[in-house]
Amino acid sequence: MTGQCGSGVGERERPLANPWQGHEAEVLSVAFSPDSQRIVSGSRDQRVRIWDIFSPGGFGAIACNQLRYHSSLNQPTTDVAREAKQACESAMHADK
Residue numbers of the domain that contains 25: 2-94
pLDDT of residue 46: 92
Return the ∠ at Cα 78 (arms to 73 and 81), rounded to 5°.
Answer: 30
Domains in the chain: how many in total?
1
With H, G, I as helix, E, B as strand and everything else as coil, classify residue 81: helix
51-54 long-range contacts (CB < 8 A, ≥24 apart) are 51/20, 53/91, 54/91, 54/94, 54/95
List, for residues 14-32, the tens digit of each pLDDT value.
544 455 577 888 888 888 8
pTM of the model: 0.49
In what side-by-side order are the strands of the sheet with 38-43? 27-32, 38-43, 48-52
